[in-house]
Structure 1
Amino acid sequence: MRHFHQPPLVLSGLILGMTALGNLLGNFSQSLRILFQIPAAILYLYLIFSIIKEPKRALEELRSPLIASVFPTFFMTGLLFSSLIIKIGNFSLGHSLWCLFLVGNISLMLYYIWTFVIHFKWSSVFPSWSVLFVGIAMAALTAPFSQHFRLGQVIFWLGLLLTFLVLPFMTYKTYKIGLEGATKPNISTFCAPLSLLAAAYLATFPQPDNGMVIFLLISSQVVYFFVLAQLPVLIKRAFNPGFAAFTFPFVISATACRASLIYLGREQKFHIVILTEILIATALVTYVFINYLIFLAKKKVQG
């Protein structure tokens, strides 16, 4: 019997990107939402079942500081899907799952701090520290569904603080010490934290401050274009599972840009910018999704 190879844990990064892109495109077409979120849900269940089937393999993967720093995307995806469950009318189930995934995210952060931060080595530092320490802000972004606005606000400020704490480490490791070739797609995660915080701020605060919105918008877009300028070099290499890093950071950047400009009443003026960022994010997610399917298919083994 032939079956697909067990998926790598970093597949969760692609699933998160597809789910978030479905939410973004859902503002324009429910068909586009379904186009990305149904396959994302299937891949998510596939990943969950593979973890349940081979827990030792999953735990072994989490001994890698790189994989462990990316795996918060698994719980971030769970928070998004939980909010979708709440949206379709099952608050009890969605809220319970939301709380469960939040606890899972926090637990992974504590595991990483205990295992890799307390016993600090530069070899354990990656740009995906932004996902590890700021990804919890997904709880703030989904606060309108969980109804935990106060908790979301606390998490936002914590995420903002952690962003400025970890950015110097990420930058020094990436551009001074350097990254191995296969891990360079991870650089894309630089543009995720500030964009996620920008979107989360608008979602969880009932009366956003214009100054804060502008600050988060400008700072996140500066980092976005900094990463975008490197994209041709970063993506010009043989596909590997780490290409999942090209998905969510670009999706959340487009999401935050659109939401911020709508709030500021500048959506029409910067319509081309918004559309361009959405198209780039869609192209990247589609590209990585197709290549992941090819990657998994090539890994078929005899059973």
Structure 2
Amino acid sequence: MSAAARGMNIASATPLPQAGVALAALSFGNLAASLLPEAWWVPVHIITAVLGLTLLIPVLARHCIAIRHSTVRASLAVDYRNPMIAPLATTMPMALITLGTYFVRVGALGMLCAQIIWWCGVLCIVAFMAYFAWYFIVRDFRLDTVCPAWLVGFVGILVAAVTSGTVGLGWAGHIIFVVGFIIDIIMLVLISSRIAWHGLPAGIRPTMTICSAPISLLVASYFSTSDVHDPVFMLVLLTCSQLLFAFVAVLIPWMLATPPSPTYAAFTFPLVITATALQDALIVFAQSGWHVPAWAHWLQLGETLLAGIMIVLATVVFARISKRAAFA
């Protein structure tokens, strides 16, 4: 089989959740760079950019190939009609928005590029949200089709709020923060109701990890979009965020008992944003004159390392999926 044919097979069979691992890798680059000395900024971002693009490009290529190839188009259409997979499509523009933040230090041109990417990403996410709302809620809503992936589809836009301060669009990010806050609460209630009444299929147990992300996104969004932070409000959000993380952390061994599959992507970004939220909150507490105990910094470091390990694990899983597709 030629290299071109193998490349076509890989792109055609690339699962949508792979974009979620790309998002996690790119977000991890920003988190790691904030924790390391300034001299590490460039090498860390180069490594995570390469990893992120290696994971993201095949997903984007699959969409491009679908334009001309009916078989790929049909398989993609099946994904977009699946309520457990389709919402994960928003991780593509979310990843691109995060990648855009890598350009802000290049100068005025880099900032302009970052802002253009940011606005394009926001428009794409809004379009996806409108599609999901129409197809899965307005047309045919059933509680048993609701799943943690819906948090990605409807709350993922908060990534735009998290990155808005970096790209100089904090005012727009604040609007998204307010809207996302409302959607966040609605989705958490809806998904909790589904899990309570219907449980989750064994095959998608890892997606429970996504439940740790929404409140953490609110913490990171509030940090990014507000010039003045209320440490008490931040503490309330952080407490909720860390309680959800603790719940997920206890379940990780149980979820890892699920055979490796594209659902392992759920182990990545939620853990990265949880560690990021804790880092942001600790900065706010320190700036407000609060005493921050040493164990809090160690906890943040532990969450960061756990997120990094899960990104490596998920990358290996998707690499094996690509290898099988290449020689199929």
| TM-score relative to the length of structure 1 | 0.94
Q: Aligned equivalents of 1:275 and 1:91: distance in 2? A: 30
Amino acid at match of 1:64: N
Residue matched to 1:295: 321
Q: Aligned equivalents of 2:137 and 2:30: distance in 1? A: 34
Q: Aligned equivalents of 2:245 and 2:60: distance in 1? A: 31
Q: Which runs of 5+ in 1 are unaligned?
A: none
- Do the aligned partners of 1:261 and 1:267 also contact (CA within 8 Å) in 2? no
1:114-133 mapped onto 2 (5 Å cutoff): 114-118=134-138, 119-133=140-154
Task: Give a deviation string over 1:238-287, Cα, whole Å, max 9, x none.
Answer: 11111100000001001111111122022645121111111111111111
C-alpha change, 1:272 and 1:108, in structure 2 (3 Å) is same
Amino acid at match of 1:242: T
Q: Which runs of 5+ in 2 are unaligned?
A: 68-72, 287-291
- Do the aligned partners of 1:128 and 1:190 also contact (CA within 8 Å) in 2? no
Amino acid at match of 1:72: T
1:60 aligns to 2:78 (yes or no): yes
Amino acid at match of 2:18: L
Residue matched to 1:111: 131
Instruction: Using the aligned pairs only, state the percent identity.
Output: 25
Residue matched to 1:264: 285
Residue matched to 1:38: 50
1:12 aligns to 2:19 (yes or no): yes
- Do the aligned partners of 1:127 and 1:174 also contact (CA within 8 Å) in 2? no
Residue matched to 2:118: 98
1:255 aligns to 2:276 (yes or no): yes
Amino acid at match of 1:109: M
Residue matched to 2:70: none
Q: Aligned equivalents of 2:276 and 2:230: distance in 1? A: 19
Higher relative contact order (CA 8 A, sep 6+): 1
Residue matched to 1:78: 96
RMSD: 1.6
Amino acid at match of 2:276: T
Amino acid at match of 1:43: L
Amino acid at match of 2:56: Y
C-alpha change, 1:267 and 1:290, in structure 2 (3 Å) is farther
SS at match of 2:85: helix
Of the three residues 258, 268, 284, the one matched with 2:310 is 284
User: Rg larger in 1 or in 2?
Assistant: 2
Residue matched to 2:300: 274
- Do the aligned partners of 2:275 and 2:304 also contact (CA within 8 Å) in 1? yes
Q: Aligned equivalents of 2:298 and 2:168: distance in 1? A: 34
Of the three residues 210, 233, 256, the one matched with 1:189 is 210
